[in-house]
Amino acid sequence: MTENNYHCKTLSNSGPVCDTQGCWYELLSPTQVLTENVQNLENSIKEKKKKKQCKGNRKLQHFKRKCRSNGMNEELITKLIEKRNTDYNSIKSADNTKNNKDMKNKKNQSKKRKRFQLLNEDKPNVMKSLSQLSISQPLRKKTKNEDKLASNSNNNNKSSKYLKMPKKLLYHSFRIHLHYPLKRKKEKMFILTRLQLLDWQFCLNLDLHLYQSYYTEGRQYKTWPEDIVKMAKTNDYDLTETFLNKLVNQIQHTVDQCTTELLSQSLSCPKTLLLSHIESRLVEFVRLHHIDLIRKLNYQVNKFKDLIRETQLFETLSSYSLTNEQKQAVDCLINIRQNQLETFEEMTMLEARIVCKSLSRSIDDLDKLILIDETLLNYMSTNNNISFKDETHQQYRKKIREYKRQVLMKNFEDYETSIEENEYLYQEELLKFEYELSKDIESVNNLMNSLYYYLNHRTDRLIRDIRYKEALFRIKLTHPHSHGSSSSSSSKIDSVSVYPEAIIETSETLFTDEEIKFLSYADSIIRVTNKSGIFHIGSTLDYDEKVKKYQAKTNAYIQLSSDPLMDTFYKTGTPLRPIVSGMNTPTTKISKMLDRLIRPLFDQYVKQPTIIDGVHLIRQLDKCVSLGLLKPTTHLCTFDITDLYTMLPQEESIAILKQFLIRFNQTHTRGMSINTIESLARGAMGSPFTLTLANIFMWHWEQKLVEKQKASNELYGRYIDDIFLTSNDSTESLRDMLENANKYHVNIKLTHEIGSCVSFLDVQINNQDGNLITSVYHKEASEPYIVPFKSDHPRHIFENIITTSLLRAIRYFSTLQAFNHEIRALKLMLLYNSFPSRYIRHYLKKFFQQLSATSISILPMIHDENEYVLLRTKLLSKPTASEHARASRIATTLDNKRQNITVDPLVHTKDSMSVAHRFSDNHLRDYCFDFRRSSLLFHLNHQAKSYLLHQMNLFSSK
Neighbours of 282 (CB within 10 A): 20
Nearest in space to 892 (alpha carbons), one of 595, 586, 584, 613: 595
Domain shared by 252 and 272, yes or no? yes
Task: Evaluate whether 653 touches 690 at the Cβ level (below 8 Å).
Answer: no
- 61 in a structural domain: no
Nearest in space to 206 (alpha carbons), one of 239, 254, 172: 254
CA–CA separation, 585 vs 930, rounded Å?
9
- 545 in a structural domain: yes
Task: Evaluate whether 261 touches 228 at the Cβ level (below 8 Å).
Answer: no
pLDDT at 73: 79
Nearest in space to 28 (alpha carbons), one of 215, 227, 201: 227
CA–CA separation, 668 vs 429, rounded Å?
74
Domain shared by 795 and 686, yes or no? no
Q: Return the DSSP state at 625.
A: H
- 843 in a structural domain: yes
Domain shared by 291 and 340, yes or no? no
* Rama region for 788: left / alpha / beta (φ>0; ψ in -120 to 50; rest): beta
Domain CATH number, residue 680 = 3.30.70
Task: Evaluate whether 943 touches 922 at the Cβ level (below 8 Å).
Answer: no
CA–CA separation, 907 vs 459, rounded Å?
82
Domain boundary among 777, 801, 829: 777
pLDDT at 924: 37
pLDDT at 465: 86
**Within the chain, how many helices (H) and strands (E) appear?**
36, 15
User: Rounded to the nearest 10 degrees, what angle do helices 237-266 and 144-156 cross at?
Assistant: 40
Phi, psi dihedrals of residue 951, rounded to the nearest 5°? -70, -40
Phi, psi dihedrals of residue 912, rounded to the nearest 5°? -145, 155
Domain shared by 308 and 326, yes or no? no
Nearest in space to 188 (alpha carbons), one of 278, 264, 276: 278
Alpha carbons within 13 A on the beta-carbon side of 397: 14
* Rama region for 585: left / alpha / beta (φ>0; ψ in -120 to 50; rest): beta
CA–CA separation, 253 vs 949, rounded Å?
88
- 873 in a structural domain: yes
- 663 in a structural domain: yes
Domain boundary among 478, 503, 528: 478
* DSSP per-residue letters across 15-42: --EE-TTS-EE----HHHHHHHHHHHHH
| Residue 502 burial (10 A CB sphere; 0-12, 13-18, 19+) | exposed
Task: Evaluate whether 518 touches 508 at the Cβ level (below 8 Å).
Answer: no
Secondary structure (3-state) at 610? strand
CA–CA separation, 433 vs 330, rounded Å?
8
* DSSP per-residue letters across 392-456: HHHHHHHHHHHHHHHHHHHHHHHHHHHHHHHHHHHHHHHHHHHHHHHHH-S-HHHHHHHHHHHHH
CA–CA separation, 929 vs 586, rounded Å?
10
CA–CA separation, 53 vs 49, rounded Å?
10
Sign of CA dihedral 276, 282, 288, 293: negative
Neighbours of 814 (CB within 10 A): 19
CA–CA separation, 469 vs 349, rounded Å?
9
Non-local CB neighbours of 120 within 8 Å, separated by 6+ positions? none
Please work out, in degrees rounded to the nearest 5, the angle formed at the alpha carbon of residue 572 by the alpha carbons of 567 and 575: 65
Task: Evaluate whether 227 touches 300 at the Cβ level (below 8 Å).
Answer: no
pLDDT at 84: 74
Task: Evaluate whether 316 touches 464 at the Cβ level (below 8 Å).
Answer: no
pLDDT at 135: 38
Non-local CB neighbours of 944 within 8 Å, separated by 6+ positions? 907, 914, 915, 916
Number of folded domains that form the chain: 6
CA–CA separation, 233 vs 227, rounded Å?
10
Q: Residue 268 is which amino acid?
A: S
Domain shared by 754 and 791, yes or no? no
- 146 in a structural domain: no
Q: Return the DSSP state at 913.
A: B
Nearest in space to 891 (alpha carbons), one of 654, 603, 527: 603
Domain residues for the domain of 723 are 605-777
Domain shared by 165 and 312, yes or no? yes
- 35 in a structural domain: no
Task: Evaluate whether 613 touches 882 at the Cβ level (below 8 Å).
Answer: yes
677 CA to centre of own chain: 48
Domain shared by 613 and 735, yes or no? yes
- 382 in a structural domain: no
* DSSP per-residue letters across 217-266: HHHHHT-EEHHHHHHHT---HHHHHHHHHHHHHHHHHHHHHHHHHHHHHH
Measured CA to CA in angstroms, residue 252 lies from 4, 259, 553 at distances of: 37, 11, 88
Domain shared by 173 and 311, yes or no? yes
CA–CA separation, 740 vs 868, rounded Å?
44
Q: Return the DSSP state at 162.
A: G
- H or E element in which residue 204 lies: helix 185-221
* Rama region for 533: left / alpha / beta (φ>0; ψ in -120 to 50; rest): left
CA–CA separation, 496 vs 498, rounded Å?
7
Domain shared by 625 and 761, yes or no? yes
Secondary structure (3-state) at 271? coil
pLDDT at 422: 93
SS3 content of the chain, % helix, strand, coil (to 5): 65, 5, 30
Strands 224-225, 672-673: pairing is: unpaired
Domain shared by 865 and 936, yes or no? no
CA–CA separation, 182 vs 194, rounded Å?
14
Neighbours of 739 (CB within 10 A): 11
CA–CA separation, 942 vs 938, rounded Å?
12
| Residue 882 burial (10 A CB sphere; 0-12, 13-18, 19+) | middle
Q: Return the DSSP state at 908.
A: B
Name the β-bridge partners of 764.
Answer: 759, 775
CA–CA separation, 326 vs 31, rounded Å?
43
Task: Evaluate whether 478 touches 28 at the Cβ level (below 8 Å).
Answer: no
Domain shared by 656 and 703, yes or no? yes
CA–CA separation, 660 vs 664, rounded Å?
6
Secondary structure (3-state) at 584? coil
Strands 535-539, 524-528: pairing is: antiparallel
CA–CA separation, 251 vs 913, rounded Å?
93
Nearest in space to 766 (alpha carbons), one of 735, 812, 810: 812
Residues belonging to the chain = 958
Name the β-bridge partners of 939.
Answer: none
Q: Where are the alpha helices (DSSP H) in 727-864?
A: 731-741, 795-812, 816-832, 837-850
Nearest in space to 834 (alpha carbons), one of 352, 126, 342, 165: 352
Q: Where are the alpha helices (DSSP H) in 609-724?
A: 614-626, 644-647, 650-663, 674-680, 690-701, 703-711
Domain shared by 172 and 273, yes or no? yes
**Mean pLDDT of successive 10-residue stretches along the chain, which has 958 residues:** 45 45 41 45 50 62 79 79 73 61 52 43 41 40 47 58 87 86 88 92 94 93 90 91 93 94 91 87 92 86 90 88 87 93 94 91 77 52 57 80 91 93 92 82 79 92 88 83 49 70 53 65 66 66 78 69 53 45 70 88 88 92 90 91 80 89 86 84 68 89 90 91 91 89 85 90 92 91 87 91 94 93 94 93 91 81 89 91 89 62 37 36 39 37 46 46
| pLDDT tens sequence across 96-146 | 665 565 555 554 554 444 444 444 444 444 444 333 333 334 444 444 444
